[in-house]
Structure 1
Amino acid sequence: MGKVVAAVGMSHAPGAIGFPETANPSIRTKLETASKQLGSSLKSSQPDVIFAFLDDHFANFFRELMPSIAISVADSHDEPADQWMEALRIDKRTVFPGAPDIAEKMLAALVGKGWGLWIPGRRTTCPVVPIFINVFTPPLIPYWRAYAFGKAVRDAVETALPGETKVAFLATGGLSHWPPYWNEFQASPDDAFLNRMRRYQTEGKGVLEEDPNLFVDFEEYETEMARKNEWPVDKGHHPLVNHAWDRLFMEKFVAGDKEWMTNLTYEEVEREAGHGAHEVLKWLALLGAMRGAPSMLLAYEPVLEWICGMTSVDFEVSKSKADTNGGVKTNGVHA
């Protein structure tokens, strides 16, 4: 029977890696400190495997073939995708070891419970099993379904994994942001760049042979959005970062308010936090995997320069176990 030893969540944004210097120095330091705290939490828990709730960002899956959920059973995973290297100022890809045997057991357990999953095959010291959730190509799974999926993953950890396999959960994405991906409900037919993105999102990597600078232009487009502080469609309604919605979401998340979280709708999130905010579907999966446990908010900052609300959260599993007295459940984890 597997056991959960850590669970963390954090935002991601191209600007945090590609142009971090554009943010206010004190905010950048606060966010980087929180990220290091999450790293320390994972390292000290010594997991045998990390189940990472991720989205693919059109690296492997495209509009013509987009699974709702996919689990990788590959021996290794390398990042970032080629098209992001220059835009993110990265000159060397990182190879993360996979855990195919554990991934296959997880897959079999979930399929046995009625979850239809796609199976993509494809350096840290800990193996990673990516669990991809579609967040950019409607129709998306409902928010309650993402929570239920996370619960099913937790059940599989405790019933299908060998021995005392130590598991960490990680979710990354969000919060509010309007990245320049084409979206059928928000994209203007007159926007030349978004039409280029639509073609890439539909046809795949072959488009880059004809349009090799697409993702360099993607970052320039984002930078211009930040400068103007507006999404180029429906300009009057959307702030690029809706800090009020972000703070409400995190208040509910760290409290483990599963009722509020699972009642979120596609339309509400799209309206209040942008089509990029559907990345919080992965946070719903993480909360489900932790069975609605409360967690600790380490940092939140609205970073307009990165056009994203940035946050870090730790479920502090090891501390919860240490603080448990007489078998009383603390932070949703039994000693």
Structure 2
Amino acid sequence: MSPALATVDVVVIGAGQGGLSAAFFLDHAGLAPGRGYVVLDSDDEPGGAWRHRWPGLVMERVNGVHDLPGYPLGAVDPRAPAREVVPAYFAEYELRLGGPVRRPVAVHEVRPAGARLLVDSSAGAFAARAVVNATGTWTKPFWPSYPGRDVFRGRQLHTADYAGPAEFVGRHVVVVGGGISAVQHLADLADLGVATTWVTRSEPVFRDDFDVEARRAAVEVVARRVAHGEPPGSVVSATGLVLTPEVAALRERGVLKRHPAFARLRPDGVQWADGSTQAADVVLWATGFRPALDHLRPLHLREPGGGILVEGTRVVREPRLHLVGYGPSASTVGASRAAREAVREVLAGR
């Protein structure tokens, strides 16, 4: 056997909410870091996608951070930046687990290798009995196709590239997207008086509350898509937007005045379906993300509908693979629960 090939029982890919939760449950089941399981993470420091959020996303604006199993986050300063609070929490959690995460490690691909799955990475290859994939979506921003995108002379950026409102003072920003990130960007830009135009494909649905029943119904919508082998789709299309006091205040100020999707981009702005135009210097695409699963292509997991069929967390086409944070588990609370389920199924198959 090549010295670059390590044999391990379980490989966990990703050290965000789902990956760290999986490590916790594996550890508590008696698997030791190293030979029993290994966590591979592409970032150079703890924190997952939270490390890359913009400075204005403070904890009181975050759409929920669920406690990692066995160690609650506790009280935090609501005005503290999420990109500082959550990575510090994750770093402490990793220490409590005994430092099972290897980083920075880029996973190139996962492919069958007889009775095992071969995980090829920048740290060498791992032959695993099972793989728990928890790679999230942050590294896979979605850029929609619009006529004129190549002729617009201003700046175009995605939520994944947004670093705060300061550079846009004195400029007009078109924010595209109907989700939570779009609303957060609009709030952030409004803090500095940046002129904005909000564009969504459909009329936003604001909810006074997002109670347990509403959450369950939203999860069920996404679960049905996944159960039919379809892409999970946008979570906000199933949940709507919660009308918090800040969001209500933004609506009162006119910041959340929604415009329908424009027909095309022009060199100096956007053009609506009726031919009217809006001058713009920047287009900020808050158009969401897709599951970061390119490294799983050699496994040929896609169904005719374009999605991946899973039962619980187990992939139907490759039962040795579990997806955590995919479809109905694509939330902080959902990822932790899915990690528990994935580990239970992995251990049952030993």
Please indicate the TM-score interval, normalised by the length of the shorter structure: 0.3 to 0.5
Query: Hey, which of these two has a bigger chunk of helix by percent?
Result: 1
| TM-score normalised by structure 2 residue count | 0.36
Higher strand content, 1 or 2: 2
Larger radius of gyration: 2
Which TM-score applies when normalising by structure 1?
Answer: 0.37
Higher relative contact order (CA closer than 8 Å, sequence separation 6+): 1
